[in-house]
A and B are shown apart, each in its own frame.
Chain A
């Protein structure tokens, strides 16, 4: 494939996919170790009602209100989960189940009651996005990367996802030590003056930012997969937190690239004509990576690690 075809049609969706995958995988590492992996699941479900409410309030599909609505919904969900867990003394899994299903149901109902026929907003889109459509029509080849005019025509999702990724990475970098201590030993972290609750909330909000930005481009299913699968696979590869983070980024990038390529070209190789869902394929690839790591990873088992490690 040459640049003339690759740059306009595949470069941007590929980059967006990679950015989204990494932005979700980074906070996913900590969610996994805090046994909060399913917070990602909950967040990605409640994004839908957030967006619908934002649409109802503004009457248009524009990026900023949608992002705010989704982020607001994520915060509402997390607060509700925490409230139900504490006030009702309900185990966290069940509290999560109550909240995200209800909010999702509310979102669907609102959507059905609203006339959204003029805008592109439906449940299917929310679930599996439309990565393939984020093409860069102004590009003519690799040289367009230096062409200001062409760059102006980049899909808005690309810079948005990049900013989200930078924000997430900054948060992890700044709070790395505090996150590590409070994830390992919460009581000790408290005695060190770390504000454990605030930090936990900040982590969830960071995850929500990643989820919301990614959601717009790639749908919620990929968000859940990227929160969990790359960190989980990375967990089987190493026994240091730094190593785990590195592996998870590698796995996230691999899933995004391979998933995108397989979705776009796999069917052609098999003799079919049309591409399949890239988001779905990325999630599938991440699952295959997880399966391989779970079967062959050097640090896959709970008790003891390999000799000499």
Chain B
């Protein structure tokens, strides 16, 4: 029995949990009667970039949304920097999928970035010059400084994604959670986003990304978390991102040739 247990991943020790920017325990989320995420544990390592990887419909985004309280879980506990989510809201920045909002909404780029300052401004606080400067600075960091006064509907997909990233930068958080930021964006945007994320890591922040491109995992990330309804593997890329774990996560859905190719790339 203990032999079997070793394959299911060890439970992190209690003292590790308190330091982790995001720890999830026994999380089950279900749409209707079929769990999309079943009994998942996750412990994010501070100051690292972690990719959440898995096949389509494996529950990657769902897990993230449940961890943030956007969708209600059936069971499970989430701790952020060792405290409850509500106590630590200010320390988390979340970048949703681009398609989750109506880009026809009547607002400008700068307004979207200023939304990131909500907790600082509060309900009625006036937007002052320094807030505007912060927002402009965040836009410049993602290479969108010239677009501040554009209507958001006029942006390309990649530009929209960068505006979302700028909004999360404005929050000045310690933990960044991004849902598929590289989906359907141009190469320039991908480069801009990854360089911003790396600079965040350099500044000691923690970054978690729902990711779908297996080929770039090695270049971009320190840690991976493989999920397919259940957790498949978790740890540093070199250890947890192997042909075997990929086979376990993707099963029949990943062509053998693809796995071999990736395995070669990994070796």
Contacts and interface: CB of A to CB of B under 8 A. Distances in A.
Interface of A: 33, 174-175, 177-178, 180-181, 183-185, 187-188, 190-194, 235, 238-241, 243-244, 302-305, 309
Given A175-B123, A188-B94, A302 B112 contact: no
B16 to A, nearest CB: 25
Interface in B73-112: 86, 89, 92, 94, 96, 100-102, 104-108, 111-112
Contact of B106 (A177, A235, A303): A235
Nearest to A33: B105
13 contacts: A183-B105, A184-B107, A185-B96, A187-B94, A187-B96, A190-B70, A191-B70, A192-B89, A240-B106, A241-B106, A303-B153, A304-B153, A304-B154
A172 B102 CA distance: 21
Contacts of A239: 106-108, 151, 153
B196 interface: no
Contact of A174 (B65, B89, B118, B124): B124
A191 B108 contact: no
A181 B153 contact: no
A302 B94 CA distance: 28
Interface in B34-74: 65, 68-70
A34 to B, nearest CB: 10
Given A239-B106, A241-B107, A181 B151 contact: no
A191 B104 CA distance: 22
Given A177-B118, A187-B100, A239-B107, 8 more contacts: A33-B102, A178-B123, A184-B112, A185-B96, A185-B100, A190-B70, A192-B118, A238-B106
Contacts of A243: 106
Contact of B68 (A184, A190, A194): A190
B89 A193 contact: yes
Contacts of A193: 86, 89, 119
A185 B115 contact: yes
B102 A177 contact: no
B151 A180 contact: no
A235 B68 CA distance: 33
Interface centre among B94, B107, B111 (most CB of A within 10 A): B107
A181 to B, nearest CB: 5
B121 interface: yes
B154 A305 contact: yes
Interface string B123-154: 11000000000000000000000000001011
Contacts of A191: 68-70, 89, 92, 94
B107 A180 contact: yes
B93 to A, nearest CB: 8
Closest 4 CB pairs of A and B: A239-B151, A191-B94, A193-B89, A185-B101
Contacts of B115: 180-181, 184-185, 188
A187 B164 CA distance: 13
B118 A181 contact: yes
A190 B100 CA distance: 13
Contacts of A240: 106-108, 111, 151
Given A177-B118, A187-B65, A305 B92 contact: no
Contacts of A309: 151
Nearest to A243: B106
A206 B151 CA distance: 29
A190 B67 CA distance: 12
Contacts of B104: 302
A184 B94 contact: no
Contacts of B69: 190-191
A225 B193 CA distance: 46
Contacts of B101: 184-185
Nearest to B107: A241
A188 B102 CA distance: 13
Nearest to A240: B106
B87 to A, nearest CB: 10
A188 B171 CA distance: 12
A174 B92 CA distance: 25
A183 B112 CA distance: 12
A244 B107 CA distance: 10
Interface centre among A33, A238, A244 (most CB of B within 10 A): A33
